[in-house]
Amino acid sequence: MSQSGQQPTTLKVIKPQPIFKILLLLVGPGLLLVSLGMIGWIHFSLSEVADARIVSIEQSDERTGRIAYTPEFSWSFHGNQLQAFSQYASHDKREFNVGQTLEIRFHPDNPDMVSPNTFWSLYGFTTLTLPVSLALTLSMFYLYRRKK
């Protein structure tokens, strides 16, 4: 007993609930697989690289109320003139300009799958999800290795 006559308080260790462990087991590695799969998909499906000219920019309102700007590219591939809208849209109006030439990546069998060949347009999603998925996966291993 302490001098005031009260029992000293002890800290309780909170154990993670089994449902939390199951969620970590599913979400962490699942997101990790999706992130790594996206990297592989980009390299294998968007395998062709070309210089393209922006011929138009489509402006669209998203559900969030923000405006997105999607460039339409025109380029030549094996003697054929191709034209398609990018799968990547920007919220920055100044990122794309009509007449601008830039490098793109596209699918050789489906040229509608086209994106600017820039780090953020190709790897933006994985740059954000990879660290989160790694943290969740490592947390899962830590929780499962702890003594029960």
User: How does pLDDT run across 68-105, given as a tens digit for each residue?
Assistant: 899 999 999 999 999 999 988 888 889 999 999 999 99
3-state DSSP assignment of residue 10: coil
pTM of the model: 0.65
Question: What's the CA angle centered on 65, arms 64 and 70, to 5 degrees?
Answer: 90
pLDDT value for 148:
53
Tokens of 13: 């260790």
Contact 24, 139 (CB under 8 A): yes
Residue 121 has pLDDT above 90, yes or no: no
Mean pLDDT of the chain, nearest integer: 82
pLDDT value for 142:
77
pLDDT > 90: what percent of the chain?
29
Res. 58 pLDDT band, cuts 50 70 90: very high
C-beta pairs of 12-18 under 8 Å, 24+ apart in sequence: 16/143
Cα separation, 128 vs 131, in Å, equals 7
Strands 48-61 and 101-106: antiparallel
The domain defined by 26-145 folds into: OB fold (Dihydrolipoamide Acetyltransferase, E2P) (2.40.50)
Cα separation, 93 vs 46, in Å, equals 25
Cα separation, 57 vs 55, in Å, equals 7
